[in-house]
């Protein structure tokens, strides 16, 4: 493994829902449950899973938008677990996030040049002239025209708005970029443009990505490694090619097989595994292995004992008593 950039160790994040007076009382959602993840310099880690699996919560924990309940976070050699808003600020420049909905993350009343200049005004002491040069260079980097800076966010299409969001995130030359469903809100024909843009920027600036998505084919395209999440935990972690070619966890296998793919010429016939039931509620997760009620391979031990994420006799890690 190349140089370690980020280490998340045994991270848990719980949310309280309801009040003491609501019908079911005060309950706890275990959104992220004992997750450990090491991220190496220059790689792209794909986080996949269905809604409610905790992938977005985990990504927000990584950039400290949420305070974690348990565990430790180490970024670029610094322990950031206990850092507050103020002491985090200098590190923010190196640790940035891109959100799903580009229109919600851009102030509609400000011009694009001001939106993109904001990181410099907050974090640097550059002169106005220097900032303007930087902004012009950034707009060019993300494939926008110089005169786009004068416009407001609503004058752009969804794809262009996401480019603005990316420009803001890379402005201060961060080391790690956490992208939470960056292409999910975009049309298919525009999605590919952003995926390619991210690949170009990664190469140009040596960025490290955490790429969160529910779209497996996009994740496969961008990721070096993949972490599959189910009900708050990572159930499989490994090299992207490996995980897709030889999934070890039954959930991963079912998830990949459930993706409808266009019937291209020369495409191989695929075996579909249709899982029964829905993802259980993270308020009341099942005992033992959390996947056991839907798992075609479940046996008695799966109902009782929770499997740990460990090396299986391949390249990757899987949390399963009976891996494939």
Partner 1 sequence: MLSVRDLCVSFRTEQGEALAIDHVSFDVEEGEILGVVGESGSGKTVSLLAAMGLINDPNATISGSIKLRGRELVGMRPSALRKLRGRDMAMIFQDPMTALTPVYTIGEQIAEQITTHQKISKRGALDRAIQLLAEVNIPKPEDAIHRFPHQLSGGMRQRAVIAMALSNNPSLLIADEPTTALDCTVQAQILDLVRRLQREHKAAVVFITHAMGVISELADRVMVMYSGRIVEHATKTEIFRNPQHPYTQALLETIPPLTGEKPKRLKVIPGAPPSLFRRPPCCAFAPRCAYRFEPCIKVPSLEGDRHQAACFKVHPPHG
> By the criterion CB under 8 A, which residues form the site for partner 1?
50-51, 157, 159-160, 187-193, 195-196, 199, 214, 216-218, 220-221, 241, 244, 254-256, 258-265, 267-268, 270, 272, 274-276, 278-279
Question: Residues 38-49, buried b or exposed e (16+ Cβ, 10 A)?
Answer: bbebbbbbbbbb
Integer Cα distance of 230 and 216 in angstroms: 14
For residue 155, the minimal CB distance to partner 1 (Å) is 11
Nearer to partner 1, 91 or 192 (CB): 192
Nearer to partner 1, 126 or 192 (CB): 192
Nearer to partner 1, 50 or 114 (CB): 50
For residue 196, the minimal CB distance to partner 1 (Å) is 5
* Structure tokens, 182: 């960056």
Nearest to 218 by CA among 196, 235, 242, 202: 196
For residue 20, the minimal CB distance to partner 1 (Å) is 21
Q: Torsions phi, psi of 15, nearest 5? A: -120, 145
Mention every residue, 6+ apart, whose C-beta is less than 8 A from residue 56: 180, 181, 212
Nearer to partner 1, 63 or 142 (CB): 142
Nearer to partner 1, 278 or 300 (CB): 278
For residue 262, the minimal CB distance to partner 1 (Å) is 4
Nearer to partner 1, 259 or 301 (CB): 259
Integer Cα distance of 59 and 160 in angstroms: 23
For residue 265, the minimal CB distance to partner 1 (Å) is 5
For residue 304, the minimal CB distance to partner 1 (Å) is 24
Q: Torsions phi, psi of 250, nearest 5? A: -60, -30
Nearer to partner 1, 40 or 192 (CB): 192
Q: In terms of C-beta density within 10 A (0-12 exposed, 13-18 middle, 19 or more buried), how is residue 162 classed?
A: buried
DSSP β-ladder status, 4-17 and 176-180: unpaired
For residue 31, the minimal CB distance to partner 1 (Å) is 16
Which stretches of 137-287 are assigned E, i.e. beta strand? 176-180, 208-213, 225-230, 233-239
């Amino acid at each position: 493994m190349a140089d370690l950039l980020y280490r998340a160790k045994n991270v848990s994040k719980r949310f309280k829902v309801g009040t003491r007076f609501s019908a079911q009382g005060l309950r706890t959602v275990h959104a992220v449950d004992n997750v450990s993840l090491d991220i190496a310099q220059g790689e792209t880690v794909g986080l996949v899973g269905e809604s409610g699996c905790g992938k977005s919560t985990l990504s927000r924990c990584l950039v400290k938008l949420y305070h974690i309940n348990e565990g430790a976070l180490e970024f670029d050699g610094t322990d950031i677990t206990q850092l507050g808003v103020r002491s985090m600020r200098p590190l923010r420049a190196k640790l940035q996030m891109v959100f799903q909905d580009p229109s919600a993350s851009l102030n509609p009343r400000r011009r694009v040049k001001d939106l993109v200049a904001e990181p410099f005004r907050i974090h640097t002491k550059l002169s106005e002239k220097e900032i303007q040069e930087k902004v012009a260079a950034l707009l060019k980097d993300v494939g926008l025209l110089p005169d786009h800076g004068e416009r407001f966010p609503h004058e752009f299409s969804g794809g262009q708005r996401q480019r603005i969001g990316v420009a803001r995130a890379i402005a201060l030359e961060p080391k790690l970029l956490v992208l939470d469903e960056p292409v999910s809100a975009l049309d298919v024909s525009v999605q590919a443009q952003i995926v390619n843009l991210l690949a170009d920027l990664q190469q140009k600036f040596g960025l490290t990505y955490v790429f969160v998505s529910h779209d497996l084919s996009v994740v496969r395209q961008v990721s070096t490694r993949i972490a599959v999440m189910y009900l708050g935990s990572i159930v499989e972690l490994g090299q992207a090619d490996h995980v897709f070619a030889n999934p070890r966890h039954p959930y991963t296998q079912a998830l990949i097989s459930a993706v409808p793919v266009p019937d291209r010429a020369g495409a191989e016939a695929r075996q579909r595994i249709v899982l029964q039931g829905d993802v259980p509620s993270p308020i009341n997760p099942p005992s033992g292995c959390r996947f056991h009620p839907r798992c075609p391979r479940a046996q008695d031990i799966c109902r009782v004992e929770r499997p740990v994420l460990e090396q299986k006799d391949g390249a990757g890690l899987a949390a399963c008593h009976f891996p494939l």
